C-alpha cells in the first residue's frame, strides 16, 4: 500500500543547498524537520505500536529496584534506535513509491531490506532490555 505524503513538499535547488550559513535557513530546516516528524508520527502505525511497547517496557523497568542512570540511558537509546530506523524505513518506502507504484523486484527488495533494519533494531533493543532488566528481577 503506497504512503501518500501531504503536498506541498519542497525540493531545494542545489544552489540553495550549498549556500553560505544563514540562521534563517537553519530555522527553516528545523521547521521542515518538525514537519516530517509530525507527518511520521501521525501517519505511521508501526511507530505507535513500537512506542506503546517501549512505554510498557519503560513502565515495567520503573518498578524495578536498582535501576541506574546508565540502565535508563541504555533503554532510552534502544528505543531511539528503533524510532530512527522506523523513520528511515518509512522514508525509503516513500521514495520507492514516489519513483513508481508499479511492482518491481528491486523496489520490493529495497523495502524488505529497510524493514529488516527495523527488525535488527528491535532485536538489539530487546537484548539490551533483557540485559538491563533480567538481573534486577532476582
Known catalytic residues? 86
As given in the structure block, the three cell numbers for residue 55 are: 512505554
Is residue 137 classed exposed, middle or buried when 0-12, 13-18 and 19+ CB atoms within 10 A define those classes? exposed
State residue 7 phi and psi, 5-degree precision: -70, 165
Measured distance CA(30)–CA(25) in Å, rounded = 9
Spatial distance between the Cα atoms of 136 and 138, rounded to a whole number of angstroms: 6
Those residues whose C-beta lies under 8 Å from the C-beta of residue 10, and which sit 6 or more positions away, are 32
Amino acid at each position: 500500500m503506497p504512503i501518500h505524503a501531504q503536498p506541498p513538499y519542497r525540493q531545494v535547488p542545489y544552489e540553495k543547498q550549498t549556500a553560505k550559513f544563514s540562521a534563517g535557513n537553519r530555522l527553516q530546516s528545523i521547521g521542515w524537520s518538525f514537519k516530517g516528524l509530525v507527518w511520521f508520527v501521525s501517519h505511521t502505525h508501526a511507530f505507535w505500536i513500537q512506542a506503546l511497547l517501549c512505554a510498557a517496557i519503560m513502565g515495567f523497568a520503573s518498578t524495578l529496584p536498582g535501576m541506574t542512570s546508565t540502565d535508563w540511558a541504555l533503554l532510552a537509546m534502544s528505543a531511539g534506535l528503533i524510532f530512527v530506523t522506523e523513520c528511515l524505513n518509512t522514508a525509503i518506502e516513500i521514495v520507492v513509491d514516489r519513483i513508481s507504484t508499479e511492482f518491481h523486484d528491486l523496489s520490493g527488495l529495497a523495502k524488505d531490506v529497510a524493514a529488516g533494519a527495523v527488525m535488527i533494531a528491535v532485536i538489539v533493543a530487546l537484548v539490551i532490555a533483557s540485559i538491563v532488566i533480567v538481573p534486577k528481577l532476582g
